[in-house]
Amino acid sequence: MAVATEPRRADLREPAGWRRTKNRIATTAMVVSFVVVIIPLGFVLYTVIAKGASIISWSFLTSPIPVNVAPANVGGMGPAVLGTLEITALATVIAVPLGVLGAIYLNEYGGKNWLSRFIGFMADVMTGVPSIIMGLFIFSIWVLRFHYSGLAGALALACLMLPIVIRSTDEMLKLVPNSLREGSYALGASKSRVTLTVVLPAALGGIVSGALLAVARAAGETAPLLFTILTVATANANVFSGPNTSLPSQIFVNASSPYTGAQARGWGAALTLIAIAFILMIAARLVTARFARYQR
């Protein structure tokens, strides 16, 4: 009872020793590992913004791509911006409905049966397939027969987006409470009707935000486009035929160029691309915050 009569607060911890030092070292190592990640991230973002901001302007975003040797203040990335927008939009139109329907099968019809679990598992595996393989695949199955086009690029991007959309939609459908479905069935609605008019609207916020993140991922991809759109310097408004170009593939070309003008345009395009990805990401956040009724 000597401790109780002691006026000072008793420190029950062991006196500072090796155990506590080790604990401190471990905690410091964890903080350091976070710092190790911030440094390159900050470095990349700083470089892209610093080098990109000096060249980017409305005319940069709309002017034609000049020859590689042209100085930095000539021309811009117009065709690449156009290509990225039309190819990504087409890929979204293809992949999102298919992915949402696939997720509806997984969650509403398949449930826990083996096929549904197997498809879900393979969708997870498919997100790990290298994006360049999607390019080779569309090259073999489409480009060899129908030649290079924005559509071929969009198909490759859609293959990449499909499993992502399926997975994120599946997560969101799982969050919709069963009582909503049961209530609708009790009113005599058919399963498709319940799914389309009750379940999907309830999960819409989450589905849209997941789709936006998939689009952000696809918009930055280069590898699937290399062998599907051919990367030309001229603008092509027809996404269904003829070679096309895109921001990522144009950056890839310019990065290997020895000319400073081309490199500067590469930085400008990189900033544009990152800006697009950020806008999509922020949009996804806003959609989640405003419209998602059920969250993880």
Partner 1 sequence: MSAVTQADQAAAGSAPGGLVGRRGLGDRSFQWLALGCGLLVLVILVLIAVTTTQQASSWFTTEGWGIFGTKWIPAENKFGATPFIYGTAVTAIIALVMAVPVSIGIALLLTEVVPYRLARPIVYVVDLLAVVPSVVWGLWGILVFAPWIQHIYAHIASAVTGVPVLGFFFGTPTSGASFFTAGIILAFMITPIVTSLSREVIATVPAVDREGAYALGATRWEMIRGVVWPHSQGGVVGAILLGLGRAMGETIAAALVIGSSPVITSRLFSTGYNMPAVIANQFGEATGVFRAGLMGLGVLLFAFTIVINIIARAIVDRSARRKRGA
Per CB under 8 A, contacts with partner 1 among 144-203 are 144, 159, 162-163, 166, 187-193, 195-196
Q: Is 16 in the site for partner 1 (CB under 8 A)?
A: no
Find the part of the chain contacting partner 1 (CB under 8 A) among 57-65, 67-75, 174-182, 218-226.
218-226
Amino acid at 90: L
CB of 45 to partner 1, least distance (A): 8
Check binding of 37 to partner 1 (CB under 8 A).
yes
For the chain, the C-alpha Rg in angstroms (whole number) is 26
Amino acid at 132: I
Can residue 94 be called a binding residue for partner 1 (CB under 8 A)?
no
One of 130, 177, 183, 201 touching partner 1 (CB under 8 A): 130
Q: Quick one: which of 162, 178, 172 has its CA closest to 201?
A: 172
Q: Contacting partner 1 (CB under 8 A), which of 8, 40, 178, 296?
A: 40
Contact 259, 68 (CB under 8 A): yes
Q: Is 68 in the site for partner 1 (CB under 8 A)?
A: no
Q: Which residues of 199-209 are buried (b: 16+ CB within 10 A; e: fewer)?
A: bbebbebbbbb
Residue whose C-alpha is closest to residue 168's, from 202, 210, 208: 210
Work out whether 99 is an interface residue with partner 1 (CB under 8 A). yes
Residues in 270-289 that interact with partner 1 by CB under 8 A? 270, 273-274, 277-278, 281
Regarding 125 and contact with partner 1 (CB under 8 A), the answer is yes
CB of 280 closer than 8 Å to CB of 216: yes
Q: Is 3 in the site for partner 1 (CB under 8 A)?
A: no
Our finding on whether 62 is near partner 1 (CB under 8 A) is no
What's the CA gap between 170 and 52, in Å, rounded? Answer: 38
Q: How many residues does the chain have?
A: 296
φ and ψ of 222, to 5 deg: -105, -45
* Out of 61, 126, 175, 232, the residue judged to bind partner 1 by CB under 8 A: 126
# residues contacting partner 1 (CB under 8 A): 94
DSSP SS3 for 260: helix
The residues in 230-259 that bind partner 1, with binding defined as CB under 8 A, are: 248-249, 251-252, 254-256
Distance, CA of 243 to CA of 151 (rounded, Å): 10
> Residue 211, interface with partner 1 (CB under 8 A)?
no
Share in percent of the chain as helix, strand, coil (round to 5): 75, 0, 25
* Residues 69-88 as x/- pattern, contact with partner 1 by CB under 8 A: --------------------
Q: Which of 49, 61, 70, 133 binds partner 1 (CB under 8 A)?
A: 133
